[in-house]
Amino acid sequence: MQLYNKLSAKERVELIENAGQERLTLSFYQYAKIGNPQMLRDHLFLNWDALDVLGRIYVATEGINAQLSLPANRFNAFKTHLETIDFLKDIRLNIAVEQDNMSFLKLKVKVRHKIVADGLEDGAFDVTNKGVHVAATEFNALIEDKNTVLVDMRNHYESEIGHFKNAVTPDVDTFRESLDIIEEDLKEHKENQNLVMYCTGGIRCEKASAYFKHKGFKNVYQLEGGIIEYTRQVKAQDLENKFLGKNFVFDDRRAEKISEDVIANCHQCGAACDTHVNCANQACHLLFIQCESCKTELDNCCSIACKEVHALPFEAQKELRKGQGNSNDIFKKGRADHLPHKKELRTIFEPVKK
Which residues are designated catalytic? 199
* Residues linked to residue 197 through DSSP beta bridges, in sequence order: 151, 222
In whole angstroms, what is the distance from residue 19 CA to residue 3 CA?
Answer: 23
Instruction: Answer yes or no: are the C-beta atoms of 45 and 107 closer than 8 Å.
Output: yes
Instruction: Answer yes or no: are the C-beta atoms of 70 and 230 closer than 8 Å.
Output: no
Residue in 163, 113, 205 with CA at minimum distance from that of residue 346: 163
Residue in 234, 241, 329, 237 with CA at minimum distance from that of residue 281: 329
CA distances from 267 to 53, 170, 260, 296, 339 (A): 35, 19, 20, 14, 6
Residue in 244, 190, 242, 238 with CA at minimum distance from that of residue 216: 190
CA distances from 291 to 246, 266, 294, 306 (A): 15, 6, 6, 17
Instruction: Answer yes or no: are the C-beta atoms of 51 and 145 closer than 8 Å.
Output: no
